[in-house]
Chain A
Amino acid sequence: MRTNRLLPLAAAAALLLSACGGGESVDTGGGGGGSGGEGGTLVAAVAAQPDQLDPHQTTAYPSFQVLENVYDTLVVPNAEDLTMEPSLAESWETSEDGLTWTFTLREGVTFHDGSEFDSADVVYSYRRIIDEELQNSYRFATVTGVEAPDPRTVVLTLSQPTPNLLERIGAFKGMAILPENAAEDIDLVTEANGTGPFRLESSDASSTVLTAYEDHWGGAPSVGGVEFRYITEPAAALTALQNGEVQWTDNVPPQQIESLADDDSVELQTTPSVDYWYLSMNYARPPFDNRDVRRAISLAVDREAVAEAAWFGAAQANQTAIPEDSFFHLDYAPFERDVDQARQLLSQAGVQTPLTMGLMVTDEFPETVTAAQVIASQLEEIGVTVEIETLDFATWLDRQGQGDFDAFYLGWLGNLDPAAYYQEQHQTDGPNNYQGYSNPQVDQLLQQGAVETDEDARKQLYDQAAQIIVDDVSYLYLYNPDVVQAWAPGLQGYRIRADKAIDFATVELP
């Protein structure tokens, strides 16, 4: 069965957001009677089952879809513009030198088991991520101390100014606050005890069920509960929505977007996401270490056609990573498709054509298979023969990790900050720099960007870095897709978000 992972794994994964929570996990045995109040249960069709429910360990998007509603973080991206706003932290202050951040915590917050939330829980959660070097420990790279001078205060001390600290601790539920000693008290893989608007009732191979947490600090949710039902096939998910079996889904076939616009039985919405998809070539495999070869390939790709093929108009071609709506977007598109120039570059580089390039894709993300076929036909014109290798995602990741590829095609989801877009992927020896890119100038710019506190100056630095990255074709950027979600007409209080966080706290059934 497929488990949609968060592509980005560690780094970029700025996923979902949510409210607060608390409380113990729930026994998965019993009759499953919702503890919820007035509202009924919202049934949401999602593509896959969570791989596990430990927010600090998982990298899978299906897990975060659920966890978004169960756990909270200190700060959370605003639904509107994705800037950080208070959640479990009510307010915060930064010291003059930018090296000490003091957070004041919200009062009257309880976990789902009834216990009080305080600063010890924050210290425990952050120390767990740092000390056990869990998935997201890189987000604390500049954090040297986590202290709790009193129950309502948490102080983070840093080794260097970190302008994006709020994004680092709040971008998604991978940075969730667990109750102190949660890992010892419960099995976090299958149980949950958060401060969010819903508590975990049960999770099995067909669905995950949440019930409303009445004592939630932000007020009880409007619905009595949420059932995440796994429907892998997009067409089946859509049919279930049209039949009224489910009230919400994000598993919408892109080719249906157009026809659904006039369909009264479905409310469809799209919004540009913060995701991007790219092709990456292996610097350790000649001739792909040759900048001219990479540039030739970049010149031969028609990004519009690839985006159109994969997303039926629901994606915007882009030659850099950051989408248009972001403050950090850079309007830079040096590659206009030019087959002759591309051929010329190839022959200049002394490359014998036909040149064969393996392109690793995964059926976990069908758009990679589609896009690869279009790219293959485009590269054929410059004498590059693309051999598409469709792998299961586990094998794919393994080969990516081992550097066993000519090229691969994938995306990063949920990034909010430019550092998340560029740093781990393009810095020399960066944790996600699988292609093996190394440019001292880029390293320096990324380093400066990471500590620059002035927004405009920071954008300048990342703009420069991005230009070089694009020119060198460290990544061959292709497009930013839209978020596409559909729900039953009359469903109120739900908001589609660019970061694909799915927050059902305020949703009201028709």
Chain B
Amino acid sequence: MTGAPLPEPAASPTATDAGVRSTQRAPRPRWRETLGLLARNPTAAIAAAVLVLLVLMAVFDETVAPDGPNEISVDDRLQAPSWAHPFGTDDLGRDILSRVVLGAGVSLRVGFLAVAFALVVGALVGLLAGFYGRWVDDVLMRFMDVLFAFPAVLLAIAVLAVRGPGAGNTALAIGIVYVPVFARVTRASVLGVREEVYVRASRSVGASDWRLLTRHVLPNAAPPIIVQTSISLAFAVLAEAALSFLGLGTQPPNPSWGLMLAEGRGFIDIAWWLAFFPGMAIFLTVLCFNLLGDGLRDVLDPRQRTLMAGGGR
């Protein structure tokens, strides 16, 4: 069992507003219930555990890594994995384990920043579009459609071409690419919630738009957005790797998994470990975010939720 690195999800949807739903369950906080359910899903729990480990590794990178990431020693180049260098050394004699550890920080930071940007901007756009409808919806969503029409990596490359390479710009580029995804998911979810009885009731007693949005609509529209966040993190890590692979993301000598993969590519015949370990790191991270996303989807789906939690209460 483990704590999932969830963004603080929607608080209890209804309990605080009197009379909205008379059938309301006992006030066990919803996020705790969610965690409990998640813990019963072994795949998602393991994925979450691995991700927590990764985050810890990224936070304490300097302590965890055996060597500095950029300590070059040409004499020790291309050494196969051994006790001294569990993942071997690269073409400049740098310890690959250290670089994978430090690369985690780069990859995750870019991933989280990108998704945070996409989440905030996209959810806001989707919320407004879904809630107000009419011309607001048209204007915002058509603009999102334009962004969405570009192939993702191409759009990111275009952004980087304008702003120049580097980790910060990479995060921004990936973030922009995922804004329309969040906007669409949020809007669809909001459309479903907007006409619910509790929303109409709240409006009828004079609640402001702001209160409606923050207290009723957003919390109840949140589950798909949370799932999308987890899945997008997977894509963001992958996109960072792809952009760095193409030389547009993280710049050498700083370690990034994608960049290490690109550098290791030329050595695959004679030193497989250069590309293998960063490749594994990307694979594991992306897989875990995806599994966690799947787990969350199951847990947060109201019907599944009833099914799973049902007997227990």
Contacts and interface: CB of A to CB of B under 8 A. Distances in A.
Asked if A and B bind, the verdict is yes
Interface of A: 234-235, 253, 255-256, 259, 305, 308-309, 363, 369-370, 372-374, 376-378, 388-390
Contacts of A370: 91-92
A510 B284 CA distance: 49
Given A235-B265, A309-B74, A377-B70, 5 more contacts: A235-B266, A255-B267, A305-B74, A370-B91, A377-B253
The 3 closest A-B pairs by CB, nearest first: A377-B72, A373-B253, A305-B74
B133 interface: no
Contacts of A377: 70-72, 253
B234 to A, nearest CB: 27
A373 B260 CA distance: 13
Contact of B72 (A256, A363, A374): A374
B252 A369 contact: yes
B306 interface: no
Contacts of A308: 74
Contacts of B197: none
B158 interface: no
Contacts of A388: 251-253
Contacts of B266: 234-235, 253, 255
B165 interface: yes
Contacts of A253: 266
B165 A390 contact: yes
A82 B252 CA distance: 38
Contacts of B251: 388-390
29 contacts: A234-B266, A235-B269, A255-B91, A255-B266, A255-B270, A256-B269, A256-B270, A259-B269, A308-B74, A309-B72, A309-B74, A309-B77, A309-B92, A369-B252, A370-B92, A373-B253, A374-B74, A376-B70, A376-B253, A377-B70, A377-B71, A377-B72, A378-B72, A388-B251, A388-B252, A390-B165, A390-B247, A390-B251, A390-B252
B267 A374 contact: no
A373 B72 contact: yes
Contacts of A389: 251
Interface string B52-93: 000000000000000000111010011000000000000110
A347 B14 CA distance: 68
Contacts of B74: 305, 308-309, 374
A253 B265 CA distance: 11
Contacts of A256: 269-270
Interface in B229-279: 247, 251-253, 265-270
A373 B247 contact: no
A370 B262 CA distance: 13
Contacts of A374: 72, 74, 92
Contacts of B252: 369, 372-373, 388, 390
Contacts of A372: 252
Nearest to A380: B70
A184 to B, nearest CB: 39
Interface string B161-178: 000010000000000000
Contacts of A390: 165, 247, 251-252
Contacts of B267: 255
B226 to A, nearest CB: 37
B163 to A, nearest CB: 13
Nearest to A369: B252
B277 to A, nearest CB: 18
Most buried by B among A253, A309, A377, A389: A377
Nearest to A309: B74
A20 B251 CA distance: 46
Most buried by A among B71, B74, B78, B91: B74
A231 to B, nearest CB: 13
A256 B269 CA distance: 9
A502 B2 CA distance: 65
A253 B270 CA distance: 11
Nearest to B72: A377
Contacts of A369: 252
A373 B265 CA distance: 18
Most buried by A among B72, B165, B268: B72
B269 A373 contact: no
Contacts of B77: 309
Contacts of B253: 373, 376-377, 388
A376 B253 CA distance: 9
Nearest to A392: B247
Contacts of A373: 70, 72, 92, 252-253
Contacts of B269: 235, 256, 259
A388 B92 CA distance: 16
A374 B74 CA distance: 9
A256 B78 CA distance: 12
Nearest to A304: B74
A234 B270 CA distance: 14
Contacts of A376: 70, 253
A234 B269 CA distance: 12
Contacts of A309: 72, 74, 77, 91-92
A402 to B, nearest CB: 16
Most buried by A among B78, B247, B265: B247
Contacts of B70: 373, 376-377
Contacts of B165: 390
A411 B84 CA distance: 37
A256 B91 CA distance: 12
B271 to A, nearest CB: 8
A117 B96 CA distance: 61
A235 B72 contact: no
A389 B253 CA distance: 10
Contacts of B71: 377
Contacts of A259: 269-270
A442 to B, nearest CB: 33
Contacts of A378: 72
A255 B274 CA distance: 13
A390 B254 CA distance: 12
Nearest to B266: A253
B232 to A, nearest CB: 28
A309 B266 CA distance: 14
A309 B267 CA distance: 13
A384 to B, nearest CB: 14
A229 B111 CA distance: 39
Nearest to B268: A235
A373 B253 CA distance: 6
A256 B165 CA distance: 31
A388 B74 CA distance: 19
B181 to A, nearest CB: 30
A259 B165 CA distance: 36
A383 B263 CA distance: 27
A256 to B, nearest CB: 7
A256 B74 CA distance: 16
Nearest to B77: A309
A249 to B, nearest CB: 15
Interface string B94-133: 0000000000000000000000000000000000000000
